[in-house]
Amino acid sequence: MNNLGKYLAVKKEKLILRSLTFFYIGILIIFPIIALIFEAFQGGVHSLWQNIFSPQALYALRLTFFTALIMVVINVISGTATAWVMVRYNFPLKNIINSLIDLPFAIPTVVTGIMLVSLYGPNSVVGAFLGKRGIEIMFAKPGIILAILYVTFPFVVRTVQPVLMEMDPDMEEAAKTLGASSPMTFLRVTVPTLLPAILTGAALSFSRAMGEFGSIAIVAGNIPFKTQVASVYIYGELESYNQQGALGLSVVLLFCSFFVLVFLNLLQIWSRRHEKKQ
């Protein structure tokens, strides 16, 4: 009887913990998503379709995808190179620089925007120098790319770095011994091993860039058909009391995040199979 009582007590404790966990996840994640989708479809599918495919909304969405894709390409190259340097080389102040990589995670994005305007704005030395040569950074597309590059920089570095640390340098040495050049060794030996981590970092960067608001609002403003990205468009629609207009692009960004999540899960499955084959 005593053992039965203990067993029931343990079962009850597990049930309570599971219920609290599911309730917390529901309140924090699931219910808000359901509420957003429900509100978006309240006006009907035709109304939602019109809100998504209005010229201004479409331009904001295209600009968001365009700048995010450019950022991903730059981030993959610079992030992988940074991770390589941090793992393979020793140099003064390495620990401090390694800590600075995570700084974009800690700085509020609005502050990031102000920092970039202070450095590249038209009234700054750098901005004035570039402006005289016809190069426009702030309140233009390059400013958007620069802002999302800053806030997403750590993603690729921090996903590639652990893989590089675990990677056996003997594999690369063996390839060089067999006559492969350094570029060939990197492409044929190193990149395939790092590819899952690189793609994970790229997907996380893309997802983060799609929803970036604070820094972009500062560096690019809210200029329709020029610098207005999806997140800023949504904010503008809410400010104009057009909730249905804001909900349209919100649903699109929500489904984009969902597809990124599915991609990351499929990538993890592929990565585990790749490791088993090795």
Tally the C-alpha atoms within 13 A of residue 147's C-alpha that lie toward its C-beta: 37
Number of folded domains that form the chain: 2
Longest dimension (CA), the chain: 87
CB 244 within 8 A of CB 38: no
Top-confidence residue, 131 or 271:
131
Structural domain including 66 reads: 45-277
Same domain, 1 and 127: no
What pLDDT is recorded for position 155? 94
Same domain, 54 and 2: no
| Residue of 148, 138, 270 lying closest to 208 (CA atoms) | 148
* Token duo for residue 212: 């970036």
**Which CATH number is 126's domain given?**
1.10.3720.10
CA distance 146 to 113: 10
Same domain, 108 and 177: yes
Same domain, 52 and 152: yes
Same domain, 167 and 264: yes
What pLDDT is recorded for position 278? 58
Same domain, 29 and 145: no
Same domain, 19 and 133: no
pLDDT digits 0-9 by tens, 133-181: 888 888 889 999 999 999 999 999 999 999 988 887 777 777 777 777 7
CA distance 139 to 46: 34
Same domain, 37 and 51: no
Same domain, 34 and 149: no
Which of 1-10, 84-93, 195-204 has the least mean pLDDT? 1-10
Asked if residue 237 has pLDDT above 70, the reply is yes
**Residue 275 CB-density burial (10 A; 0-12 exposed, 13-18 middle, 19+ buried):** exposed
Asked if residue 217 has pLDDT above 70, the reply is yes
Same domain, 25 and 140: no
Same domain, 268 and 202: yes
CA distance 207 to 42: 27
| Residue of 143, 119, 127, 139 lying closest to 67 (CA atoms) | 143
**What share of the chain has pLDDT > 70, as a percent?**
95
Same domain, 200 and 252: yes
> Average per-residue pLDDT in the chain?
87
